[in-house]
Amino acid sequence: MKKILVLGGGGFIGGHLSKRLKDEGHFVRVVDIKNHEYFNENEFCSEFILGDLRNPNFVSKIMFAPNQSTTEVGAFDEVYQLAADMGGAGYIFTGENDANVMHNSSLVNLNVLHYATSMGVKKIFYSSSACMYPEHNQLDPNNPNCEESSAYPANPDSEYGWEKLFSERLFLAYHRNYGLNVRIGRFHNVFGPMGTWKGGKEKSPAAMCRKVSECEDNGSIEVWGDGQQTRSFLFIDECLEAVERLMNSDFMEPVNIGSEEMVTINQLAQMTIDLSQKNVKIDNLYGEEFLNKYGFKCPLGVKGRKSDNKLFREKIGWEPFKLLIDGLKETYNWVDHQVKNNTN
């Protein structure tokens, strides 16, 4: 049985990851600034601690493992660092939250790395993001370049992406200078049930599911942009499988964790509509019309983004295989249930 610490386990990916690790028989301590919305504490962890990872004194305490006698003996076998200030396009791309995103996430990572090193943590995973890839490589919606080697020269399209890139370098520097055993995964639009589906921080699949579920038959849903932006989406179960395989490997460089199945945002919306078996029209909103309605420019992100899994296949020997429609069906059924029961 491993001793495992999951930071950000109150969030979507962190909660699912914690539950998987606990189900595998490990001791799992979860730390977050908020409780998980859908998992009960005894369902997904051995111990839950509520607190702020921006506070170095707090981090020094939670990084000390149960029954750890010294910095060498009894330390956490694995730490998963998923805690971050983040959200969907409406949160990341308006510019209104840039300072908080960069300050909060950087502070958390600085604290975590300092105390992981001093407490003798044996291995640590950092959840980076595809948002760190250069905007100039993602201008063609039909042919985006998200190969790992394309990260430099750097030019992310958001401050969230810049912070992720900085923190990748920070984790690698701690490996070079202090011997910390690190793994870095660049997540590409992970989705699934038991996550945020309303309130502005939800990702595209959850937002589509909510809009379609709330829409009356013969009604319409609003989709930001012209709908021709492309993305790939990774179902949560396959994300967890990829993370576990990466952690069990010897590969220490940043690597994509995503699907290579790419769709337009309008295709994502139509797939969701088809699953609902409703007659729903897609209303694309952008440009002056969007600005007049909301008072800010339409936050779209890059025009195209798709995971490139060549390196993961080569170094880890596995890749995701679940079709988007199958994961979307599970997600829609869950979100539809939340909407109908008016729960959080």
Residue 120 and residue 248 in one domain: yes
Domain that holds residue 294: 193-232+262-305+323-341
Instruction: Name beta bridge partners: 3.
Output: 27
Give the burial class of 315: count Cβ atoms within 10 A of its Cβ; 0-12 exposed, 13-18 middle, 19 or more buried.
Answer: middle
Residue whose pair of structure tokens reads 């495992």 in the numeric block: 4
What is the average pLDDT value for the chain, to the nearest integer?
Answer: 95
Segment 127-133 shows an average pLDDT of: 97
Residue 134 and residue 204 in one domain: no
Segment 128-152 shows an average pLDDT of: 96
Residue 57 and residue 39 in one domain: yes
Residue 238 and residue 269 in one domain: no
The answer to whether residues 3 and 77 touch, using CB atoms and an 8 Å cutoff, is: yes
Residue 161 and residue 212 in one domain: no
d(CA 45, CA 42): 6
Crossing angle (nearest 10°) for helices 159-178 and 98-118: 10
- CB neighbourhood size of 69 (10 A): 9
CATH number for the domain that contains residue 293:
3.90.25.10
* Residue 245: inside a domain: yes
pLDDT for 344 equals 53
> What is the tens place of the pLDDT at every residue in 298-322?
888 899 999 999 999 999 999 999 9
Strands 262-264 and 230-232, how do they pair? antiparallel
> What is the tens place of the pLDDT at every residue in 184-204?
999 999 999 999 999 887 889
pLDDT for 56 equals 98
Number of domains in the chain: 2
pLDDT for 95 equals 81
Q: What are the φ and ψ backbone dihedral angles of 75, each rounded to 5 degrees?
A: -70, 165
Residue 211 and residue 84 in one domain: no
pLDDT for 256 equals 98
pLDDT for 343 equals 53
Percent of the chain topping pLDDT 70:
98
Q: What are the φ and ψ backbone dihedral angles of 271, each rounded to 5 degrees?
A: -60, -40
* Residue 314: inside a domain: no
Name the band, by pLDDT with cuts 50, 70 and 90, for residue 73. Answer: confident
> What is the tens place of the pLDDT at every residue in 228-264?
999 999 999 999 999 999 999 999 999 999 999 999 9
Residue 212 and residue 245 in one domain: no
Question: Could you give the residue numbers annotated as active site?
Answer: 160
pLDDT for 96 equals 85
The answer to whether residues 180 and 174 touch, using CB atoms and an 8 Å cutoff, is: yes
Residue 124 and residue 29 in one domain: yes
Residue 72 and residue 175 in one domain: yes
> What is the tens place of the pLDDT at every residue in 262-309?
999 999 999 999 999 999 999 999 999 999 999 988 888 899 999 999
pTM, rounded to two decimals:
0.94
Residue 241 and residue 169 in one domain: yes
d(CA 256, CA 185): 6
pLDDT for 325 equals 98
Residue 204 and residue 104 in one domain: no
Length in residues, the chain: 344
Q: Which of 256, 245, 246 is nearest to 182 (CA)?
A: 246
Residue 54 confidence (pLDDT) above 80: yes
> What is the tens place of the pLDDT at every residue in 34-53?
999 999 999 999 999 999 99
Name the band, by pLDDT with cuts 50, 70 and 90, for residue 31. Answer: very high
Q: What are the φ and ψ backbone dihedral angles of 282, each rounded to 5 degrees?
A: -95, 120
